[in-house]
Amino acid sequence: MKNMNDEYYMGLAIEEARKAEALGEVPIGAVIVRDGQVVGRGYNLRETTKDPLAHAELLAIKEASKTMGGWRLIGATLYVTLEPCPMCAGAIVQARLPRIVYGAMDPKAGCAGSLMNLLQEERFNHQVEMMQGVREEECSELLKNFFRSLRERRKKKAAE
Ligand SMILES: [Zn+2]
């Protein structure tokens, strides 16, 4: 189910994604909100940190656990611009997040409905309420533009 403020908080996740973009990272951003307050933020930092685990969601979950003082993110909602990968979907279940909202779908790696749905796997002891497609166009435009300019830069380089 969609909440009144989902679009607004997705806007904050999009702002995080833009921070990644500014560093030349694939633009993916996330925020975690509880009781109307942002308790965690993150953006993709895989290239900068040379860390395959430095996904937006994991960084936001780490910060939220610190802010909330525990590993169970009870009562919180995670907003992320792109459908979570298997690692992040696993972390969302591990953090016991009750709800996530995401923008664009990821047909190549998404594990919240595209390839599989780890968030609502009945054999796990925790299921996550899920809302997809919030500000989807903006979220996917961000990615499309990023990859388009990456290809153009590569082409230019090859022509030199
Ligand atoms: Zn991920």
Rounded to the nearest integer, the mean pLDDT of the chain is 96
Percent of the chain scored above 70 by pLDDT?
A: 99
Q: Give dist(CA 108, CA 113) in Å, integer.
A: 11
**What value does the mean pLDDT take over residues 82-107?**
98
Q: Retrieve residue 65's tokens.
A: 């656990």
31: CA distance to ligand 1 center in Å?
14
81: CA distance to ligand 1 center in Å?
11
Q: Give dist(CA 77, CA 136) in Å, integer.
A: 17
- What SS3 state is found at 92? helix
Q: Give dist(CA 46, CA 88) in Å, integer.
A: 14
**Global pTM exceeds 0.75:** yes
- How high is the pLDDT of residue 21? 97
- How high is the pLDDT of residue 3? 84
- How high is the pLDDT of residue 95? 98
Please give the positions annotated as active site: 57
Q: Give dist(CA 1, CA 159) in Å, integer.
A: 50
Give the tens place of pLDDT for each residue, 132-148: 999 999 999 999 999 99
- How high is the pLDDT of residue 142? 97
- How high is the pLDDT of residue 4? 83
- How high is the pLDDT of residue 160? 82
37: CA distance to ligand 1 center in Å?
23
- How high is the pLDDT of residue 2? 74
